[in-house]
Amino acid sequence: NRRIVLASRPVGAPTTDNFRLEQTAMPTIAAGEILLRSVYLSLDPYMRGRMSDAKSYADPVAIGEVMVGGTVCQVEQSNHADFVQGEWVLSYSGWQDYAVSNGSGLIKLGMQPTHPSYALGVMGMPGFTAYMGLLDIGQPKPSDTIVVAAATGAVGSMVGQIGKIKGCRVIGVAGGEEKCRYAKDVLGFDDCIDHKADDFEAQLASVCDKGIDIYYENVGGKVFDAVLPLLNTGARIPLCGLISQYNATELPQGPDRLSMLMGTLLVKRIKMQGFIIFDDYADRYDEFATDMSQWLAEGKIHYREDLVQGLENAPQAFIGLLDGKNFGKLVIQTNQA
Residues that bind ligand NDP (CB under 6 A): 44-46, 126, 129, 149-150, 152-156, 174-175, 179, 195, 218-219, 221, 223, 240-241, 243-244, 275-277, 321-324, 326, 329
Q: Decide whether 36 or 72 has the Cβ nearer to ligand NDP.
A: 72
Q: What is the largest CA-CA distance in the chain?
A: 64
Residue of 49, 71, 57 lying closest to 121 (CA atoms): 71
Please state the closest distance from residue 194 (CB atom) to ligand NDP, in A. Answer: 9
Can you name the residues that pair with 5 across neighbouring β-strands? 20, 66
CA distance 225 to 241: 15
Residue of 60, 126, 133, 146 lying closest to 326 (CA atoms): 126
Residue of 303, 281, 282 lying closest to 292 (CA atoms): 303
Q: Decide whether 93 or 129 has the Cβ nearer to ligand NDP.
A: 129
Residue of 216, 244, 210, 255 lying closest to 230 (CA atoms): 210
Please state the closest distance from residue 259 (CB atom) to ligand NDP, in A. Answer: 24
Q: Decide whether 97 or 306 has the Cβ nearer to ligand NDP.
A: 306
Say if CB 130 and CB 170 are below 8 A apart: no
Q: Decide whether 33 or 306 has the Cβ nearer to ligand NDP.
A: 306
Say if CB 235 and CB 270 are below 8 A apart: yes
Please state the closest distance from residue 77 (CB atom) to ligand NDP, in A. Answer: 32
Please state the closest distance from residue 280 (CB atom) to ligand NDP, in A. Answer: 8
CA distance 160 to 324: 18
Please state the closest distance from residue 59 (CB atom) to ligand NDP, in A. Answer: 16
Q: Decide whether 127 or 140 has the Cβ nearer to ligand NDP.
A: 127
Please state the closest distance from residue 106 (CB atom) to ligand NDP, in A. Answer: 21
SS3 of the chain: helix, strand, coil, percent, to 5:
30, 25, 40
Cα 220-222-224 angle, rounded to 5 deg: 50
What crossing angle do the helices spanning 125-132 and 156-165 adopt, rounded to 10°? 50
Please state the closest distance from residue 172 (CB atom) to ligand NDP, in A. Answer: 8
Q: Amino acid identity, residue 98?
A: Y
Q: Decide whether 140 or 156 has the Cβ nearer to ligand NDP.
A: 156
Tell me whether strands 19-23 and 212-216 are parallel, antiparallel or unpaired: unpaired
Say if CB 158 and CB 127 are below 8 A apart: yes
Q: Decide whether 37 or 304 has the Cβ nearer to ligand NDP.
A: 304
Q: Decide whether 29 or 307 has the Cβ nearer to ligand NDP.
A: 307
Please state the closest distance from residue 201 (CB atom) to ligand NDP, in A. Answer: 14
Q: Decide whether 21 or 197 has the Cβ nearer to ligand NDP.
A: 197
Please state the closest distance from residue 135 (CB atom) to ligand NDP, in A. Answer: 14
Long-range contacts at 265-268 (CB < 8 A, ≥ 24 apart): 268/231, 268/232, 268/233, 268/234, 268/235
Residue of 36, 40, 71 lying closest to 333 (CA atoms): 40
